[in-house]
Amino acid sequence: MTSVLHVDRVNRSFGSRQVLTDVSFTVTAGRMTGFVGGNGAGKTTSMRIILGVLAADSGEVSWQGKRLTRQARARFGYMPEERGLYPKMGVQEQLVHLGRLHGLDMAAARRATDALLERVGLAERGKDLLETLSLGNQQRAQIAAALVHDPEVLVLDEPFSGLDPMAVETVLSVLRERAAQGVPVLFSSHQLDVVERLCDDLVIISEGRIRAAGSREELRAAHALPRFRLLVDDDAGWLRDVEGVTIVELDGPGAVFDLAPGVDEQQVLAAALARGPVRAFAPVTPSLAEIFREVTR
Amino acid sequence: MNTYQATRLVAARELRVKLRDRTFIFSTLFFLVIIAASAVVPALIGNGTTTVAVADAATAQLLSASDELEVVTVGDDAEAEQRVRAGDVDAAVVDGPVVVAMDDAPQSLITALSSSPPVQLLNPDAVHPVALFLVPLVFALVFFFISTMFGTQIAQSVTEEKQTRIAEILVAAVPVRALMLGKVLAGGALALGQIGLIAVVALIGLRMSDSGPLLTLIAPALGWFVPFFVIGFVMLAALWAVAGALVSRQEDIASVALPLQMVIMIPFFAVAMFSSNDTLMRVLSYLPFSAPTAMPIRLFTGDAAGWEPFVALVVLLLTTAVSLLIGARLYEGSLLRTNSRTSVATAWREREQIG
């Protein structure tokens, strides 16, 4: 079996409120999977169930084809939505402690901690108490805490929220590094532009149901509209009179338009060329925000 | 990582953090100074000598036999009285003999001047009445203070992990019961260590102040006090850990801990106040919450038969096992509920079944 984290028909309710309904998706090795949804859509609940911090009412989570056990979960790296480490403990000391709780021996935990502190730029602050660090540095320590035991799978709940731009770059490069080593990385976010920039795969959740899942390209292709952008030298207003064309946006020489089914975009291009030079003509791919709006509608 | 290994790591962290904590070190030292002082100071005060001015040579000779008195020989009675008024001496003995002092006649001087009848003790091993009153009080006090103090610290340490949200990372890594057990054991080790230090300091103090006979009387009761104390402490510590897990903020610990404090306080008062009531003490020495103090006291006063502490210890052990099991379930049901205070019923019901 390949290195795949598989969530299979997971249901969960809190009291009478159904929070997750038949949630299924996969996270593939070596890929950054963005988990997208509004507040209260069920992202955190799903992640907590993957980590075994919360139990599912039904359904199961498997890793490499086997139902997840506590032993296997100890090899996962987890960053909960609500951040926290021991405020009155040294950064290095608590990373070593967390490494050991995840099964490393003392020497390995020390080595991993030192390497990781170096990597996130906290090598000089290892001896300092966490609470004396700036907020940005505390967040770096937090990501280090999720990575110290060199996890086989990474599950990060809103890893970029509240990060300063420098920290975002650090965290991002560390995550990409892990993904490149073959680790499946699942991270949630409600900032669609961030996810669009970072992820290879996407899982979209809304009201506890998975609305769409797949690679970014697949989703774009699946939700692509027959929409085109045209830029000519003169006014593009004549497009209004072309049969099968619906103008989305018209601004002097520039236009964005949709084509009715069966209408060939090459005919429109030919018509434009007949009127003068064409500076640009291209299909418009939908942004993640547009796909999100569409699938959660 | 099995529960045992995880428990050890959790306990080791608790110990490291606590042993570096300035408040903890300071309070331990403070405690020790108080104990040392209370063992040594009374002896020092008791050993103070009284100065007496005496004119009569025969009286002077009689009084100088006592090592609690320092005799100052003066010319006549008038001068002796003058020395008392001036505050040079504590008292004077003038013709009569009459003791002259400012406002209080020194007891040691009066004893030296009187003749005591011979005393014959029929049961010389019987416990001194003062000790009979003090020893139960000390046992009850030590158990009360240590279990409250370290119990509160366990609760605070649990709430800290909830409040700082590190609990979720920990729960994802190790079994929840290991988190609780580690804290309980570390608290127990610290409490035992502190009691050990107190005992050593108290013993040295008693030896320095020459209270040897009391020592040999206390020793067997003290020997029994240790296992009762340790197991009793673990029983309470599990409940303290639950108290910490039920709330989300340090400020709220006091309110959930109130019933628990009652459970500790009521046996304390019962044992301290009714230590001479044999029937009540017999009952108290078997009840789990009062056994840790009541049984050693009954052994000290010689009221308990040889087999009794074993039975009480088994009862205490069973109760402790139940307390740990219930505690672990409530702990699992409340540790990750960070929104508000969790009720015991909810914690019992809401325990997550995690594989």
Amino acid B88: pLDDT: 83
Q: What whole-number distance in Å separates Cα of residue A73 and Cα of residue B172?
A: 7
Strand partners, A282: A229
Say yes or no: A82 contacts chain B, CB-CB below 8 A.
Answer: yes
Measured between CA atoms, the residue of chain A closest to residue B176 is A53
| CA separation for the pair A1, B193 (Å, rounded) | 53
Tell me the C-alpha distance between B41 and B256, whole Å: 40
Q: What is the pLDDT of residue B110?
A: 80
* CB spacing of A80 vs B174 below 8 angstroms: no
Q: Could you give the CA distance from residue A290 to residue A156 in angstroms, rounded to a whole number?
A: 24
- For an interface test with A, give the residue of B1, B157, B169 to mutate (most A CBs within 10 A): B169
Q: Beta B50-54 vs B91-94: how paired, if at all?
A: parallel
- In chain B, positions 145-204, which contact chain A (CB-CB < 8 Å)? 160-161, 164-175
CA distance A103 to chain B (A): 6
From the candidates B18, B164, B170, B248, which should be mutated to test the interface with A, based on the most A CB atoms within 10 A? B164
Chain A contact for B339 (CB, 8 A cutoff): no
Q: What is the pLDDT of residue A1?
A: 47
Q: Are A114 and A125 in contact (CB under 8 A)?
A: no
Residue B125 has pLDDT above 70, yes or no: no
Instruction: Taking residues B304-311, report their average pLDDT.
Output: 88
Residue B129 has pLDDT above 70, yes or no: no
Q: State how far residue B354 is from chain A, nearest Cα, in angstroms.
A: 6
Q: Which helix (H) or strand (E) holds B54?
A: strand B50-54
A70 closest CB neighbour out of B169, B170, B355: B355
Average pLDDT of span B23-50: 74
Domain ranges of chain B: 3-35+127-349, 51-113
| pLDDT class of B41 with cuts at 50, 70, 90 | low
Ramachandran sector of residue B222 (left: φ over 0; alpha: ψ -120 to 50; beta: rest): alpha
Q: Are the C-beta atoms of residues A144 and A114 closer than 8 Å to each other? A: no
CB A129 within 8 A of CB A87: yes
Going by C-alpha positions, the residue among A193, A76, A69 that lies closest to residue A146 is: A76
Domains assigned to chain A: 4-221 (3.40.50.300), 223-295 (3.30.70)
For B142-151, B211-220, B298-307, which range has the lowest pLDDT when averaged over its residues?
B211-220
pLDDT tens for B236-294 read 999 999 998 888 888 888 888 888 888 888 888 888 888 778 888 899 989 998 888 88
Q: Which residues of chain A register pLDDT less than 50?
A: 1
pTM for the whole thing?
0.78
Surface of A (245-284) touching B: CB under 8 A: none
In the 8-state DSSP scheme, what is residue B65? Answer: T
For B328-336, what is the mean pLDDT? 84
Q: What is the pLDDT of residue B313?
A: 93
pLDDT tier for residue B211 given thresholds of 50, 70 and 90: low
Pairing of β A32-36 and β A185-189: parallel
How close is the nearest chain A Cα to the Cα of B249, in Å? 14
Read off the pLDDT of each residue in B201-215 and give the average, rounded to a whole number: 70
B-chain CB neighbours of A55 within 8 Å are: 352-354
Q: Is the pLDDT of residue B140 over 50?
A: yes
Listing DSSP states for A98-157 in one string gives HHHHTT--HHHHHHHHHHHHHHTT-GGGTTSBGGGS-HHHHHHHHHHHHHTT--SEEEES
CA distances from A48 to A9, A76, B76 (A): 15, 12, 96
Residue B4 contacts A where some CB pair is shorter than 8 Å: no
Please name the helix (run of DSSP H) or strand (run of DSSP E) that holds residue A215, with its range, or none: strand A209-215
Cβ distance B168 to A88 less than 8 Å, yes or no, reads no
Residue B30 has pLDDT above 90, yes or no: no
Identify the band that residue B298 occupies on the pLDDT scale cut at 50, 70 and 90: confident
Q: CB-CB: which of B13, B166, B355 is closest to A84?
A: B166
Is A84 an interface residue toward B (CB < 8 Å)?
yes
Q: Which residues pair with A18 in a beta bridge?
A: A13
Helices B308-334 and B291-301, packing angle to 10 deg: 170
Strands B50-54 vs B69-73: parallel, antiparallel or unpaired:
parallel
For the stretch B42-70, pLDDT in tens is 656 555 678 888 888 888 888 877 777 88
Q: CA of B319 to nearest chain A CA: how many angstroms apart?
A: 30
| pLDDT of B6 | 92
Partner-chain contact B164 A76, CB within 8 Å: no
Do B165 and A86 count as a contact with CB atoms less than 8 A apart? no
pLDDT category of residue B98 using cuts at 50, 70 and 90: confident
Q: Give me the pLDDT at residue A84, please.
A: 86
Which pLDDT band holds residue B355 (cuts at 50, 70, 90)? very low
Q: How far is CA B33 from CA A175, B23, B36, B140, in A?
A: 55, 15, 5, 20
**Bigger pLDDT: B29 vs B300:** B29
CA separation, residue A61 to residues A49, A122, A217, B240, B262 (Å): 8, 35, 26, 35, 45
Identify the closest residue of chain B to A53 by CA–CA distance.
Answer: B172
Per residue in A70-101, pLDDT (tens digit) is: 888 889 999 998 888 999 899 999 999 999 99
Are the beta carbons of A54 and B171 separated by less than 8 Å? no
Q: Token match 């699946």: residue?
A: A222
Tokens for A27, please give them. Answer: 């996270």
Measure A198 CA to nearest chain B CA, in Å: 25
- Do A259 and A245 form a contact (C-beta atoms < 8 A)? yes
